[in-house]
Structure 1
Amino acid sequence: MEYKWLEWAKKIQAISQAGLTFSKDVYDLERFEELRKISVEIMADYSGTEMEKVYELFANETGYQTPKLDVRGAVFQNNQILLVQENYDGAWSLPGGFCDIGLSPSENIIKEITEEAGYDVNVKKLLAVCDTHKHAHPPQPYHYYKLFFQCEIVGGSATSGVETDDVQFFSKNHLPALSQNRNTEAQIHMLFDYLENPNKETYFD
């Protein structure tokens, strides 16, 4: 669920960033810069974060602002799903992460699964495209779209990576504590639905 102040701060930030990108008038640029400062002040004040840190993480981009793209891999084995333990928070998530420039979404998820879980995979199907605003993720400073791909193991072995501490398979009804920023229990259950109903259409929103 979004907090209103966070929603307002993100909207003001997006408007200011677009204005700073496309405006040519010096006075308009000053106004858009002031809007960006206001968005940072809102974020810093309500989140209890230092202004400098907010500028670094929240107002450091240029160009027209769009949602960030995150890919997650659903790898099944013996009716269980592959999860990795994030060393960031000790919780568990589907392997994946932000898309790198120069790689397609499917190439990104192949890379992420190998790096985080040690397995080589083939991508079988795009199962879902989820807007974080429409799912029960904790409030976040950015707007994300999450792409969930079904993948199959073709090689490798369970091996944790730089960002992960453990690699395991879990059944639908015995999931560990999940990293809610990355995936929710409802999303994991949705992916199991595709395992049980392989002809189910791709979910979106």
Structure 2
Amino acid sequence: MRTPTLIADELRSMAHAGLLYSGNVYDQHRYLKLMELSAEVAQLEIPAPKPQLVKAYLEQATHICPLMGADAVVVKENQILLIRRKDSGLWALPGGNIDVGESVSEAAVRELFEETGLRATPVRLLGVFDAKIWRGRSLMHFYQMVTHLDIQGGELQTTMETLDVKFWPLDALPELDEGHRLMVPKAIEMLKSGETHLDLLTPEDLKAQIPPAPRKRAQPFRYKMIRGLVHLLFLMQRTPAPR
């Protein structure tokens, strides 16, 4: 089910694509209007003024595809490592955006070190989580790639991005940040089962594979009359003159 924020992000993405590829000034004006409307839809969930949302959208002018993030799962003695976020004060997996040129595992290793001070190596991918299903709180459509990491060294510490860093029992998790409330238990399940999570297609998703039926353009009477005259002249030119 799409939330108002995700609907707004889809509209914003369409507007950005239009502004990027359209050379028609009238269409560009329409796409700017579409962006303003998407900001109004976002306001249904986000308590922010429309100009502020439009500004945030314009700053992401190249974002026409979903963003990707990397989260790290580190488990020791039946406990999972979590960070307490500065922005919400709630607990979450260490992680952040994947930089251009990085692999998923590289980003997970880097984010773990930046947020906890620990060094690690990747073990395997636990899952790919779609924020529209797992209720992430990002303004933009987001995919989170969750990777199991094995600690190799370093010293556990808070950093400029965290309020606290702590191992929690797998069966006694603290209050988790939006999105992580559902995702962390699922990641633990994948860790125990040895499986990898992937959000499967729904019947609604499968509709995208059905080609749209061709639409016949309504032709005004004047257009039909001109087309008929052109066809008549073409036939007259091909008809040999009587001798």
- Name the TM tier (shorter chain): 0.7 to 0.9
Please name the residue that 1:97 is paired with: 96
Which of residues 105, 130, 153 is equivalent to 1:155?
Answer: 153
Amino acid of the structure 1 residue aligned with 2:139: P
Superimposed CA distance per residue, residues 121-165 of structure 1 (whole angstroms, 9 cap, x where no aligned partner): 001101100101112x25542111010000000000211111102
**CA distance in structure 2 between the aligned counterparts of 1:57 and 1:29, rounded to whole angstroms:** 18
Please name the residue that 1:70 is paired with: 69
Which of residues 191, 195, 209 is equivalent to 1:195?
Answer: 191
TM-score under structure 1 normalisation?
A: 0.88
- Comparing 141-150 with 25-34, which one deviates more in the overlay? 25-34
Please name the residue that 2:28 is paired with: 29
C-alpha deviation, 1:46, in angstroms: 5.7
Give the direction of change, closer, same or farther, for the CA distance of 1:55–1:196 in structure 2 (3 Å limit).
Answer: same
Please name the residue that 2:126 is paired with: 127
Please name the residue that 1:180 is paired with: 178
**CA distance in structure 2 between the aligned counterparts of 1:60 and 1:180, rounded to whole angstroms:** 24
Query: Aligned pairs, how many?
Result: 199
- Report sequence identity in percent: 28
Give the direction of change, closer, same or farther, for the CA distance of 1:101–1:49 in structure 2 (3 Å limit).
Answer: same
User: Secondary structure of the equivalent of 2:96?
Assistant: strand
Amino acid of the structure 2 residue aligned with 1:67: P
Q: 1:146 aligned to 2:140?
A: no
Query: Which structure exhibits the higher relative contact order, with contacts defined as CA atoms closer than 8 Å and separated by 6 or more residues?
Result: 1
- Comparing 86-95 with 119-128, which one deviates more in the overlay? 86-95
Contact 1:40 1:59 (C-alpha < 8 Å) held by counterparts: no
Q: Which runs of 5+ in 2 are unaligned?
A: 200-243
- Comparing 51-60 with 125-134, which one deviates more in the overlay? 51-60
Contact 1:21 1:64 (C-alpha < 8 Å) held by counterparts: no
Contact 2:156 2:165 (C-alpha < 8 Å) held by counterparts: yes
Amino acid of the structure 1 residue aligned with 2:14: I
Amino acid of the structure 2 residue aligned with 1:178: L
More strand by share: 1
User: Secondary structure of the equivalent of 1:47?
Assistant: coil
* Structural mapping, 1:48-87, within 5 Å: 48-63=47-62, 65-87=64-86
TM-score under structure 2 normalisation?
A: 0.75
**CA distance in structure 1 between the aligned counterparts of 2:168 and 2:14, rounded to whole angstroms:** 43
Contact 2:119 2:152 (C-alpha < 8 Å) held by counterparts: yes
Please name the residue that 2:224 is paired with: none
Q: Which runs of 5+ in 1 are unaligned?
A: none
Please name the residue that 1:9 is paired with: 8
Q: 1:204 aligned to 2:198?
A: yes
Q: Larger Rg: 1 or 2?
A: 2
More helix by share: 2
Q: CA RMSD in A?
A: 1.9
